[in-house]
Amino acid sequence: MINDEKLLDGRAVANGIKEKLKSRVSVLKERGITPSLVTILVGNDPSSETYVRMKGNACERVGISSKKIHLAEDTTTEELVKTITNLNEDDSVHGILLQHPVPSQIDERLAFETISIEKDVDGVTSAGYGQTALGFGTYPSCTPAAIMRIMEDYDIQAEGKHAVVIGRSPILGKPVSALLLNQNATVTTCHSRTRNLASHVRQADIVVAAVGRPEFIKGEWIKEGAVVLDAGYNKGNVGDVEYEQAAERASYITPVPGGVGPVTIAMLLNHTVDAAEKTLN
């Protein structure tokens, strides 16, 4: 049995964020502004449809307007770029989210880069990443932001700790490494070409799993007392970390589901409201 005191309860963190958002949204609406997120879905990937629906529902529950644009499977890069450009120019839109993956004929990176940095509430542009990494970014990617928010809410300090991040994707492994580094952790970034992954994980005070492979990180690799943040979400409702075994050794651990996931969505909403508030100035 896992000690409840160890649990990093993402749902509770997310609810705390959403409660505050509701009152911020009320203030905005009194001033004539409805925060607005537009999500773009290209093609018919069922799990992407689910994600987009979940995000839309979450928006509505805090009073954010959520518009979905559903483009056909055979959309071209040019058409997608045009859609994004129009949204960039639309003052009633505060945030733009392009659900990925997109169909293979599309240049995904070019599409991401088209999103204007002021509306990049999902934190996918290289410009946003560069600002985040250099310490003055506005909207880091939502999952890295969620991980940092969970740590903050549970008063887990990164300073002086050795953080080991497994994964180096542009929206997860790389930016979470950057955020931990900026909070004065010593950061090791591991990935598919890392030799002897176990030896790196065994040294970590903070483990961030961002691989996308079920139970890839073994519980016995976790150092006694380490903090485990599992951003994985794989088929069968399991994370990237062998949960039960890891929980025995960890001082804190995020469950899957109910850990990083709900906070990721809350951060997306938070960024959208931030973007709407900026239009007041």
**Binding site: what residues are annotated?**
167-169
Q: Which of 4, 46, 91, 160 binds a copy of itself (CB under 8 A)?
A: 160
168-173, Cβ contacts within 8 angstroms, sequence gap of 24 or more: 169/210, 170/124, 170/126, 170/129, 170/141, 171/122, 171/123, 171/124, 171/141, 171/143, 171/144, 172/141, 172/143, 172/144, 172/210, 172/231, 173/208, 173/210
- Amino acid sitting at position 27: V
* Residue 174 CB, nearest approach to a copy of itself (Å): 6
**Which one-letter DSSP state was computed for residue 213?**
S
The piece of 57-65, 177-185, 242-250, 258-266 that touches a copy of itself (CB under 8 A) is: 177-185
Judge whether 245 counts as a catalytic residue. no
CB 252 within 8 A of CB 231: no
Residue pair 246/228 in contact by the 8 Å Cβ criterion: yes
What tokens does 256 get?
């899957």
Least Å from the CB of residue 135 to a copy of itself: 8
CB of 176 to a copy of itself, least distance (A): 13
Nearer to a copy of itself, 67 or 218 (CB): 218
225 binds a copy of itself, rule: CB under 8 A? no
Q: Can you tell me which of 89, 91, 136, 281 binds a copy of itself, judged by CB under 8 A?
A: 136
Pull the structure tokens for residue 46.
């069922």
* 189 binds a copy of itself per the rule CB under 8 A: yes
Catalytic residue among 120, 122, 230, 240: 122
Check binding of 184 to a copy of itself (CB under 8 A). Answer: yes
Q: What is the DSSP letter of 118?
A: G
Structural contact between residues 47 and 75, judged by C-beta atoms closer than 8 angstroms: no
Does 128 contact a copy of itself by CB under 8 A? yes
Q: What is the DSSP string of 217-241?
A: B-GGGSPTT-EEEE---BTTTB-SB
Q: CB of residue 209 vs a copy of itself: minimum separation in angstroms?
A: 15
Nearer to a copy of itself, 138 or 234 (CB): 138
Known binding-site residues for NADP(+) equal: 167-169
Q: How far is Cα 205 from Cα 30, in angstroms, rounded to an integer?
A: 46
Q: Which residues contact a copy of itself (rule: CB under 8 A)?
A: 109, 125-131, 133-134, 136, 159-160, 162, 168, 170, 174, 177-178, 181, 184, 186-191, 193-195, 200
Residues marked as catalytic: 55, 99, 122
